């Protein structure tokens, strides 16, 4: 399994060692980093069974062009950059899964519904970039029918990104949901946005 991140997480190598995995650094905003990571996976395994797009930045604070470019480069363009590099390896897998960790904050249905918390979230750039990430996932599902592509809303999780808000459940609980979709069987859905209650309108 390869999980994409904007930059290396402190202790990631140690965590990989503890579960018998190999840590491969990958910066989704850097073409050379992406190419090097996928070349390492190709040399070691010759295929890729699961790809999880988990890179994300909030982009809170002042809204300007530079911030928008950073948010979209990480949250949306990174999906394209990594997927395109990974497709040759994913096509070699008998049952490949691609999971985009998206957000209900990028759902048009949710943000236009006054009864939903997303309606009042001050996440202009994050919401727009996650809407793009979901659209990319759905379109990849259509163009690559031999690979399952799904976007998921993992639930509010206590991470560095949400630390200022003091909200979110333990990452381990969210990870269980992500793993469920990463290990989806060959008859599972593709081209959807899902939360833990089922398919989410977007």
Quote the CA–CA distance of 170 and 164 in Å, as a whole number.
15
Give the C-alpha distances (Å, rounded to integers) separating 30 from 42, 54, 78, 111, 154.
Answer: 18, 15, 9, 31, 26
Is 185 a known active-site residue? no
Q: Give the pairing type, strands 97-101 and 198-199.
A: unpaired
Is 130 a known active-site residue? yes
Of the candidates 82, 130, 136, 141, the residue annotated as catalytic is: 130
Quote the CA–CA distance of 177 and 174 in Å, as a whole number.
5
Of the candidates 98, 103, 126, 134, the residue annotated as catalytic is: 126
Helix ranges, 19-123 (H) = 31-45, 65-72, 78-90, 108-111
Quote the CA–CA distance of 158 and 43 in Å, as a whole number.
35
The residues assigned a catalytic role are 126, 130
């Amino acid at each position: 399994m390869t999980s994409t991140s904007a930059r290396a997480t402190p202790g990631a190598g140690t965590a990989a060692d503890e579960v018998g995995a190999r840590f491969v650094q990958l910066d989704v905003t850097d073409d050379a980093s992406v190419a090097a990571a996928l070349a390492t996976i190709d040399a070691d395994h010759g295929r890729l069974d699961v790809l999880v797009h988990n890179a994300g930045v909030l982009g809170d604070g002042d809204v300007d062009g530079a911030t928008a470019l950073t948010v979209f480069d990480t949250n949306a363009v990174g999906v394209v950059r990594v997927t395109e590099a990974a497709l040759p390896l994913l096509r070699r897998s008998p049952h490949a899964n691609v999971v985009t960790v998206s957000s209900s904050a990028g759902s048009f249905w949710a943000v236009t519904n006054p009864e939903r918390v997303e309606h009042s979230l001050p996440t202009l750039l994050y919401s727009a970039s996650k809407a793009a990430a979901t659209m990319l996932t759905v379109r990849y599902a259509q163009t690559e029918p031999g690979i399952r592509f799904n976007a998921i809303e993992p639930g509010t999780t206590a991470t560095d990104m949400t630390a200022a808000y003091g909200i979110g459940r333990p990452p381990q609980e969210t990870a269980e949901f992500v793993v469920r979709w990463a290990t989806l069987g060959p008859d599972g859905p593709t081209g959807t946005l899902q939360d833990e209650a089922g398919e989410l309108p977007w």
